Amino acid sequence: NFIKEMTIPADLAMWHTVLDACQKWRNLKLGKWAFKNAIQLNEKDDTAYICMSNIYVVLGMQEEANTIEVMKLEKKA
């Protein structure tokens, strides 16, 4: 709610912070939302892909983590 109610738009630093917290607290739903918003700002943002992949890893979702890694590589090409 805090991010939604901010008077200024969230930047990549804000989304990276949310993604990091999602990894720590294992919050997949919020992590997916933060990832979506981060890559909308910069689809080549390595940090967003790494953080989202890490969220999947800590949740034991290796296949999904691999998918994110592939997405990251495709955006670099």
Residue 7, class by beta-carbon neighbours within 10 Å (0-12 exposed, 13-18 middle, 19+ buried)?
exposed
Q: What is the mean pLDDT of residues 56-67?
A: 98
Give the residue with greater pLDDT, 8 vs 17: 17
Write phi, then psi, for 6 (nearest 5 degrees): -65, 145
Which one-letter DSSP state was computed for residue 26?
T
Which two three-digit tokens encode residue 11?
A: 């930047």
Phi, psi for residue 55 in degrees, rounded to 5: -60, -45
19-29 confidence digits (pLDDT tens): 999 999 999 99
Question: Whole-angstrom distance between the N-terminal and C-terminal Cα of the chain?
Answer: 35
0.85 exceeded by pTM: yes
